[in-house]
Amino acid sequence: MVKSSKDEKLAKEAKESARPEKKPYMQNRELSWLMFNKRVLDQSIDENQPLLERLKFLAIWRSNLQEFFMVRVGSLLDLELTGDVIYDSKSGMTPTEQLEAIYKRVQELTPLASKDYQTVRHQLEAVGIHQMYPDELSIDEDEQVRSYMEKNVMPLVSPQIVNATHPFPHLENGKMYICVRLDDQAEYSKTKNMSKSERKLLRAQAAENVIMGFIPMPANCPRFVPISSEDGTFKFILLEHALEMVAPDIFDMYPVKMANVVMVTRNADLDAYEESDESDEDFRSHMRRILKKRARLAPVRLESERELSGDTERFLRERLGLKRSQVYNTGMPLDMGFAFALPGIVGGELEEQYSNEPAEPQWPASLARKRSIMKQVTHKDVILSYPYEAMDPFVRLLQEAANDPDVISIKITLYRLASQSRLAEALITAAENGKDVTALFELRARFDEFNNIEWSQRFEQAGCNIIYGFHDFKVHSKICAITRRTDEGLQFITQLGTGNYNEKTAKLYTDLSMITCDPVIGQDAAKFFRSMQLESVSKDYKKLLVAPLMIKQQLSKFVDEEIEKAKAGQPAEIWLKTNSVTDKDMIEKLAEASQAGVKITMLVRGISCLVPGVEGYTENIRVVSVVGRLLEHSRIYMFGSDPDTRKIYLSSADLMTRNLDKRVEIAWPVEKEDLRARVVGYFDTMLSDTAKLRELLPDGEYTELCHFVPKDEEGNYLERPIDAQDTLIKEAYIANEHSMAGADFDHAVQISTQVSALQEEAEDDYVVVKAAEEKNEAESFRPEPAPDTEFVTEPVASAVEEDVLEEEPEVEDEPEAEPEVEDEPEDEDEDEPETEDEVEDEPEVEDEPETEDEPEVEEDNDESDDEPEKDLDDEDEGDVAETYVPKHAAPEPEVEAAAEALEPVTEAPAAEAEAEPQPESEPVAEPELEPVAEPEPEPEPEPEPEPEPEPEPEPEPEPEPVAEPELEPVAEPEPEPEPEPEPEPEPEPESVAEPELEPVAEPEPEPEPEPEPEPEPEPESEPEPEIPTAEPTEVIEAPNAQVADAAHTADATPAAVQNPAPQPDPAWDPQPQPGLVVAEPKKRGGIFGFFRRLFRRNK
């Protein structure tokens, strides 16, 4: 016995000696991910967020955590069961130690989330949105709920009981059950005087006699049970709470002692190649078979909405094989997915005031809508910035290629596809048209396996050549190669992206997509697909960097070059934007660079195992994170301080061991000056954020929200916070507006009455525009006589690119921490937990939630290979990521349909103008109406649409009728120079009652007084003192005149991209509100008011 004890001691000492030394500038990846999700949770208490959006961030937080337990915790439990002592290479922790730390941290965060949920719930009640609980219902409301359940739900319920003759049921992963205790159980509170064996015997006897019931949530039943209200408020109760109410009626043969909502989380970590070598089945069938196992894998967590009694909890734990530390009382609904549906159900003014207004991706100003995309990209390289710009141009490119007789082949890698995908349909069409279409499907994209299997079958049936990737490496790269035959020979069009080919997530995740005709990159792309078809990994590429053999090695060389510069006394800088940093080799290399004096700035949305600011190691490294309504998902690597010589690469890979060593990833150079300036400007804009950006401190904690906004001694803001994402959303709108106006004025008016009106509206939403520039712009935009004239986009090719702020990535403020939040998982961690350094990254959200949706916050799920955040990376985590990010609105319309819709709108107004030349005064009851002064006989009043901004508040009453008339007048801006003095704003209100009726003759006398207001106010609109008062709820400060300049100057050159980063308005007069409350927290304002006016005009 003594000998055995001695052996155990020696074995323990041997294991401890093998434990790697923990370096002060590294931290455990699992705990770092939990810090990321905490940043998502913090969005729910940000009073600057609309209330319904805050509820979505709670949903994203829960969704991210669910996926984290399924993937990361599940992997660690598998390692623990092996019995082998495996140490984390960065923290030196064993799997058991990591699990204990995770359980402890989650137990600390759960009560915080519950508190935040109750706070948001009560604030929603204050504005008329009531989520009721059974004990809060009046007698009449109780009867309503029971009646609804009796008619609509009870026939669909399938209850189950548990006793000696009825075995414990299989509780599905992530599904809610109403757990009902049906009999009296033995009490253990009075057993302290019993011996251990007596207590054990009593427990066994009691458990054997237990009778318990379960009510599974019925499928296809609405989650909301409506409750009528006499006071006009919106009331509802969740279905699971209504089921608790009727549980006694369901189990009417038993006495019901307790009812509670419970949910089990199961391990989702599968070995895709388990038994595959011994099986003759094809890989697609094999994947189907092993995926069925996921539903029955071991439980890793039990949750209850309210605290379970000791005996009930013990009974469930014993049946599920869980420890006490794996049981959580959430204090909030177990499935918060209803938060994403609630705004649409509430509808009306409540939805408008307390949720973000949808920001629809814009057509990029660098491309003409009516011209062939293929012809345009053969003359210039293009970068699309999702979701600020739409994916439509790339989809159209594939559609054109599918029908172009000169196109020989289309080859593409597909990691995650939307369930309804125009992109996929274009590829199928190409195959049906006889093109050589090759699609590499990664069937192991976590949580998207079934979707990819279904799509691969459709592709195969259409005649596509299907590749399933490597046995040892997951193909996570995003590349599409189109080959055409021309008179000069073969022509290559190559698209490379940082995110998935998923139209849904392209509206939630921020990604960069480059389309180029560079022949060298085209040859590299062709070589890449040949290697994939032969299942070989090559490093024989001229411009592309392909992992697992090239990316880490080349990035390390770039870092070494900066180290040499620093040692020689030369400026040396590195800028990195990525979802996560976990690779030990890269962390050590960056620490080495820091010690040599290289200045390193890192935008890391999610996990950062590198701890910055540690004296003697990483004091020259700064790590910041941005979590907002969109999930930050692009990867950018820049080396060098000289703008002309710095190396700029975009990539699908994060700085994670799984991406660099275990996946096929691609990084590519950005060489064209205008595109380089745009990438640098984008990076700078993110760093200029003061609303969402948070900095990682040496102790592993992050700064608070709005930490970088100057405050007075009482905590009041001295400047308005800048939200980089909202700034970029608005810039995309303005760039698109002006590119359209510069190309065809008749079409521009469909969004705003005229350019001057847009300028004034933009000023109200933080964009300062000079009056002189306004006048010049309006005069320069003249309608073309031919309605079908093609857009001329050459002069505005880089308009959007110029929106980006100055190149210097040294901006002090940094981007907000990820989504989801916007975390939402993108790249799921499908690799097995890094035993040393790389436990697979969890799938991503939302921000959202959600996915997402989103909100966006927060980790990608679609292609992010990082974490399981809902926003975990969307790429690798399975769109759970920042399901994390709240949903973007509006479904994207077909580009062709949109273009056709533009023409008829302008034609109708023209006809009306001819019929009624006098009704000039009629226009404008609303700002949009003013433009109605279309009558050709009186061109003088027409140029006055500028005053329209004043009636902005009126648009709501009569938005639809006025929409069409407004467009017509736009075509008559030529006479404007003379009639400028004519002000039409005053008469507009009177004519509003009859926007388009012939009686318009009434307003004729009014036009005379109009000239007084218009002429003078326009020239000096710059100061606009109304900015602070117009929308007190604004939380974001968009770029100043620079943004307007970039958007206005359709013919601006790439130099415009170097505009300085957005700066707070010095003239802003803050309201003395403490904490994070800058203005009314619950209502949407600022940029959202701008969008609202924009959309109304569209109607």
User: What are residue 145's DSSP bridge partners?
Assistant: none
CB neighbourhood size of 363 (10 A): 21
Q: Distance of alpha carbon 942 from its chain centroid, rounded?
A: 42
Distances (CA, A) of 893 to 59, 392, 768, 890, 898: 28, 9, 31, 8, 7
> What stretches of 548-613 adopt beta strand conformation (E)?
573-578, 599-604
Q: In the structure encoding, which two tokens stand for residue 944, read together?
A: 């006055």
CA distances to 373, 378, 397, 983 from 392, in Å: 10, 17, 8, 40
Query: Was 416 annotated as part of a binding site?
Result: yes
Tokens representing 76 are: 């660690």
CA-to-CA distance for 498 and 659, rounded, in angstroms?
A: 13
Instruction: Output the CA angle 342-844-823, nearest 5 degrees.
Output: 55
User: Which amino acid, residue 91?
Assistant: S
Active site residue 476: yes
Q: Are 681 and 806 in contact (CB under 8 A)?
A: yes
- In whole angstroms, give the CA distance from residue 945 to residue 980: 10
User: HEC string of 643-704?
Assistant: CCCCEEEEECCCECHHHHHCEECEEEECCCHHHHHHHHHHHHHHHCCCCCEEEECCCCCECC
Tokens of 551: 């990316």
Strand partners, 181: 212, 258
Q: C-alpha dihedral over 186, 188, 192, 194, to 10 degrees?
A: 30
Q: Is 64 annotated as a binding-site member?
A: yes
Spatial separation of the C-alpha atoms in residues 387 and 686, rounded to whole Å: 15
Positive or negative torsion for Cα 332, 335, 340, 341: negative
The residue count for the chain: 1099
Residue 147: Cβ within 10 Å count: 10
| CA–CA dist 967, 881 (Å, integer) | 41
Q: Is there a binding annotation on residue 471?
A: no
Dihedral sign for Cα 1093, 1095, 1098, 1099, please.
negative
Measured distance between the N- and C-terminal CA atoms of the chain, rounded to whole angstroms: 86
Q: According to the annotation, is 509 in a ligand binding site?
A: yes
Which of 476, 738, 747, 888 is an active site residue?
476
Bridging pattern class, strands 234-238 and 224-227: antiparallel
Tokens 């698209």 sit at which residue?
495
Instruction: For residue 102, give both structure tokens.
Output: 């995770």
Structure tokens at 704: 């608070």
Number of helices and strands in the chain (H, E): 32, 27
3-state SS, residue 438: strand
Structure tokens at 195: 């011996």
Cα–Cα distance, 129 to 94 (Å, whole number):
47
**Percentage helix, strand, coil, to 5, in the chain?**
40, 15, 45
- 446 is known to lie in a ligand binding site: yes
Per-residue tokens: 135: 């004990």
Tokens representing residue 857 in the block: 């916050």
The answer to whether 890 touches 827, Cβ cutoff 8 Å, is: no
Q: Give the angle 1024-1068-726 at the CA atoms, nearest 5°.
A: 90
Sheet strand arrangement including 234-238: 129-132, 234-238, 224-227
Closest CA to 53 of 859, 1088, 1078, 816: 1088
Q: Is the CB of residue 608 less than 8 Å from the CB of residue 20?
A: no
- Binding-site entries: 64, 416, 446, 509, 605, 633
- Binding-site entries for ATP: 64, 509, 605, 633
Question: Which amino acids are annotated catalytic?
Answer: 476
